[in-house]
Amino acid sequence: MDNLGNVKNQVVENIDLMNDELVNISEYIFANPELAFDEYKASTLLTDVLAKHGFQVEKGIAGLETAFKAVYHGQPGGPVIGLLAEYDALPEINHACGHNLIATIATGAALAISKVLKEQKGTLVVYGTPAEEGGGGKVIMVQEKCFRELDCAMMIHPADETIVDDISLANENLVFTFHGKAAHAAAFPHKGINALEGVIQTFNQINALRGHLPSDVRIHGIVTKGGVATNIVTELAEAKFSVRALKRKTLDEVLEKVYNCAKAAALATGSKLEIAKEGLGYDEIMNNNVLTSLLKANFLQLGEPVGERTIEQGLGSTDMGNVTQIVPGFQSYIGIGKGLATHTVEFANACTGSNGHQALLKAAKALAMTVIDLLENPQHLENAKKEFKEAKEA
């Protein structure tokens, strides 16, 4: 057997030897769900484990208390390879997106690789990335120059089936606030300016726009403030919208049209309009085919069937997209149960117990094997960088 096969076998064996430790990490994070930017228990556990195994750990990076960077150096030279961990939970349904598994997959792969890295040229970096569920932790980290030293960045997410490619929507969240003038709605309606009508007309204008938008665009909104009483002309009204598209360029074009819908509503009703963005915008995923092909081959070598990602499976948005826009990388998936939908109680239940444990170990092995591919054959990363450059220029 060649050296590549030997090293891969060794990292797989390392993960098997750490089976109990990795399962305990995942179960601890699952049992202690923490919301965006408050993942103190999870980040402390992960950094303690990585430090115990010889990683140089820096906590509180990018101005985020629960973000971290853990580095393990091999021989001088070679690539700098990044593995990303998420560990925030959702309100009420806790780890219904399986971030307990994501964090442990990255950690398990990193620990296994560290045992062989002293004989390899290269550096391994584990980035702890808080607040994916709406907080945009990775967006902040990108803005603070994280990830840029990496030659590639990789992450595996649980799903209903194993898929190495991904498709996501670029996303921006908007807040439209309309200011009118209060008046008695029955006695003096002519003296009032109805801010609620500004909101209603915004919805109407956006609905009229829908027939002239690309099919991948999604616009969905809610009324968050609509008045205080039926006999008072509404002085303040507010609506929030999420606008999504397959490409950031398309999203930016659609945003201007949505802004114009709200401006037209304000003009028509005589109200004053404030436009704000809520939170941080997510870019679309740009998975690197060179890297995902390596991961797919490793999954198949482990006996894990790999499906295909399609738009018909439904699309969301993730801040991992912002990372893949600055370095070659991927977000891929490990199956934990056919037909399960993320952000449900059923999915959360599958992220613990035997299904979750098996998926965790198999994904950690495939990810570690992919890192070995990159360490042993520098041409893979050269090809990945070439593809990345061409994709950015397209």
- Mean residue pLDDT of the chain comes to 96
Q: Is the dihedral of CA 104, 109, 112, 114 positive or negative?
A: negative
Q: Which of 109, 116, 274 is nearest to 195 (CA)?
A: 274
> What order do you get walking across the sheet with 152-159 strand by strand?
56-59, 68-73, 121-128, 75-85, 152-159, 329-335
Orientation of helix 289-301 relative to helix 378-393, angle to 10°: 140
Across 24-39, average pLDDT? 98
- pTM for the model: 0.92
pLDDT band at 7 (very low <50, low <70, confident <90, very high): very high
Q: What percent of the chain has pLDDT over 90?
A: 95
**In whole angstroms, what is the distance from residue 277 CA to residue 282 CA?**
12
3-class SS of residue 242: strand
pLDDT digits (tens, 9 = 90+) for 244-299: 999 999 999 999 999 999 999 999 999 999 999 998 999 999 999 999 999 999 99
CB 126 within 8 A of CB 135: no
259: Cβ contacts below 8 Å, ≥ 6 apart:
275
Between residues 176 and 394, which one has the greater pLDDT? 176
Q: Is the pLDDT of residue 45 over 90?
A: yes
3-class SS of residue 265: helix
First to last CA, the chain: 41
What pLDDT does residue 4 have? Answer: 61
Q: Is the pLDDT of residue 2 over 80?
A: no
Domains of the chain (ranges; CATH) run 3-167+283-393 (3.40.630.10), 170-277 (3.30.70.360)
pLDDT digits (tens, 9 = 90+) for 52-99: 999 999 999 999 999 999 999 999 999 999 999 999 999 999 999 999
**In whole angstroms, what is the distance from residue 153 CA to residue 39 CA?**
22
pLDDT digits (tens, 9 = 90+) for 315-356: 889 999 999 999 999 999 999 999 999 999 999 999 998 999
Across 197-202, average pLDDT? 98
Q: What is the DSSP letter of 211?
A: G
**In whole angstroms, what is the distance from residue 272 CA to residue 256 CA?**
18
